[in-house]
């Protein structure tokens, strides 16, 4: 009898809570936690991204130069003036600062290429061979270019350690500065400083470390249990202590010594217990692209959003490069999980506060 009473008490309270939510408000708060990709280099009122931004007040967008499903097709980036016009058009849709983000690390990972008329940036590995004055000049040029284009968030620097020479996605692509923690911190901090001067938010990646991996999480499950070393946390520790970090991106890597059940992006043990509580990080945690196969092949959309948000992640990235999700479907799925009580509404509130406090405050 007691169990029956408890069931009806919980059921009744969930219904009361669900009915008390302002659906429109909550969906806009959820939308603030999203950065999404879209297909056009030019937008107008008929563009889906325009409709989504106006309807939901989206948190932000991410720009790409190529469509990964058909690399012969351009996506958002054709020329300097075109990108500048695109970002202005996007910002003009809203009365708040829309996040307009990009992957512009340098070297193999940069969307603003010389062939489109942009100033290219050296890879992290090549940067590490320069004098500090030249490093600062290089990163000043990068930050200025982003600022002039209206891009206000860069998914860089990479602070992974180059500890596995056979790493296909980091070391072999020259995306890491060094095997040495202090060297990595030194160069990363210069990029952070130059971007901050130009009002571009930096995102450290890929927590808790991708430098020891062998596989690429774009393509599938990546297990670093036997290769990961706790020294990979050191760049984060040092930069957090120096108050140099506003945002950190999670990695879709699995390490059973950190969490026996989930990859880092979906892990409360990694994102809250380790990053927040042990390392003391108070800023914004953003997921890597949740459409990468390391995640999308193994979890439904409901599972992905529930686990990611409950793990402590504040912003969810859907690049729409490897698969297509409608923004409406993502928002409705998260709202459904909140309604069911699978995601605490307080998590949505907390993330909105962090986004407001840490982005564009300087």
- 289 near 319, Cβ under 8 Å? yes
pLDDT, residue 292, reads: 87
Question: What is the Rg, in whole angstroms, of the alpha carbon atoms belonging to the chain?
Answer: 20
Of 193, 322, 178, 290, the residue nearest 246 (C-alpha):
193
State the residue for tokens 């130059």. 194
Instruction: Look up residue 91 and give its two tokens.
Output: 């910002």
Q: Select which of 52, 65, 246, 288 is catalytic.
A: 288
Provide the residue ranges of all domains of the chain, joining segments of one domain with +: 23-358
CA distance 317 to 351: 14
CA distance 231 to 26: 40
Q: Is-catalytic flag, 288?
A: yes
CATH of 23-358, one of 3.20.20.300, 3.30.910.20, 3.40.630.30, 3.90.180.10: 3.20.20.300
Element holding 99 (H helix, E strand): strand 99-102
pLDDT, residue 270, reads: 98
For residue 154, the cross-strand partners are 102, 202
- 194 near 244, Cβ under 8 Å? no
CA distance 259 to 253: 10
Through-space distance between the first and last CA atoms of the chain, rounded to whole angstroms: 58
Which pTM value belongs to this model? Answer: 0.92
- 166 near 106, Cβ under 8 Å? no
pLDDT, residue 231, reads: 98
Classified as helix, coil or strand, 341 is: coil
Burial status of residue 50 (CB atoms within 10 A of its CB: 0-12, 13-18, 19 or more): middle
Long-range contacts of range 134-140, CB-CB < 8 Å, 24 or more positions apart?
Answer: 135/187, 135/190, 136/190, 136/194, 138/106, 139/190, 139/191, 139/194, 139/195, 140/194, 140/197
pLDDT, residue 224, reads: 92
Residue count (the chain): 362
Beta-sheet pairing, 247-250 with 253-254: unpaired
pLDDT, residue 361, reads: 53
Pick left, alpha or beta for residue 341 (phi over 0 → left; psi -120 to 50 → alpha; otherwise beta).
left
For residue 254, the cross-strand partners are 223
Q: Which residues contact 185 (CB under 8 A, 6 or more apart)?
A: 159, 235, 238, 239
Digit-by-digit pLDDT tens for the chain (362 residues) are 555 544 444 444 444 455 678 999 999 999 999 999 999 999 999 999 999 999 999 999 999 998 877 777 789 999 999 999 999 999 999 999 999 999 999 999 999 999 999 999 999 999 999 999 999 999 999 999 999 999 999 999 999 999 999 999 999 999 999 999 999 999 999 999 999 999 999 999 999 999 988 755 555 568 999 999 999 999 999 999 999 999 999 999 999 999 999 999 999 999 999 999 999 999 999 999 999 888 988 999 999 999 999 999 999 999 987 567 899 999 999 999 999 999 999 999 999 999 999 875 54
Backbone φ and ψ for 254, nearest 5 degrees, come out as -105, 130
Beta-sheet pairing, 153-154 with 99-102: parallel
CA distance 152 to 143: 9
pLDDT, residue 322, reads: 59
């Amino acid at each position: 009898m007691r169990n029956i009473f408890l069931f009806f008490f919980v059921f009744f309270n969930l219904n009361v809570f669900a009915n008390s939510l302002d659906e429109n408000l909550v969906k806009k708060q959820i939308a603030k936690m999203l950065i999404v990709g879209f297909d056009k280099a030019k937008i107008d009122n008929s563009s889906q991204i325009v409709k989504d931004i106006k309807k939901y007040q989206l948190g932000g967008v991410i720009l790409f130069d190529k469509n990964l499903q058909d690399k012969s097709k351009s996506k958002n980036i054709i020329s300097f003036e075109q990108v500048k016009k695109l970002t202005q058009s996007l910002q003009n849709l809203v009365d708040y600062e829309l996040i307009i983000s990009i992957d512009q690390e340098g070297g193999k990972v940069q969307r603003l290429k010389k062939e489109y008329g942009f100033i290219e940036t050296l890879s992290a590995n090549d940067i590490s061979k320069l004098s500090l004055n030249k490093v600062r000049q290089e990163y000043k040029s990068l930050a200025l270019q982003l600022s002039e284009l209206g891009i206000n968030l860069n998914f860089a620097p990479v602070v992974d350690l180059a500890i596995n020479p056979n790493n296909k996605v980091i070391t072999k692509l020259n995306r890491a500065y060094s095997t040495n923690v202090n060297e990595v911190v030194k160069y990363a901090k210069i990029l952070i400083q130059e971007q901050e001067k130009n009002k571009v938010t930096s995102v450290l990646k890929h927590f808790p470390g991708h430098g020891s991996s062998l596989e690429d999480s774009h393509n599938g499950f990546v297990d670093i249990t036997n290769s990961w070393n706790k020294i990979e946390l050191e760049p984060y520790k040092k930069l957090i202590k120096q108050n140099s970090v506003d945002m950190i991106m999670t990695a879709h890597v699995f390490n059973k010594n950190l969490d026996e059940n989930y990859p880092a992006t979906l892990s409360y043990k990694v994102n809250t217990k380790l990053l927040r509580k042990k390392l003391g990080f108070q800023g914004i945690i953003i997921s890597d692209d949740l459409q990468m196969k390391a995640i999308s092949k193994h979890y439904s959309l409901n599972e992905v959003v529930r686990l990611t948000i409950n793990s402590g992640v504040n912003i969810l990235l859907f690049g729409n490069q490897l698969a297509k999700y409608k923004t409406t479907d993502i928002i409705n799925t998260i709202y459904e999980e909140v309604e069911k009580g699978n995601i605490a509404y307080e998590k949505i509130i907390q993330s909105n506060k962090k986004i407001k406090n840490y982005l564009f405050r300087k």
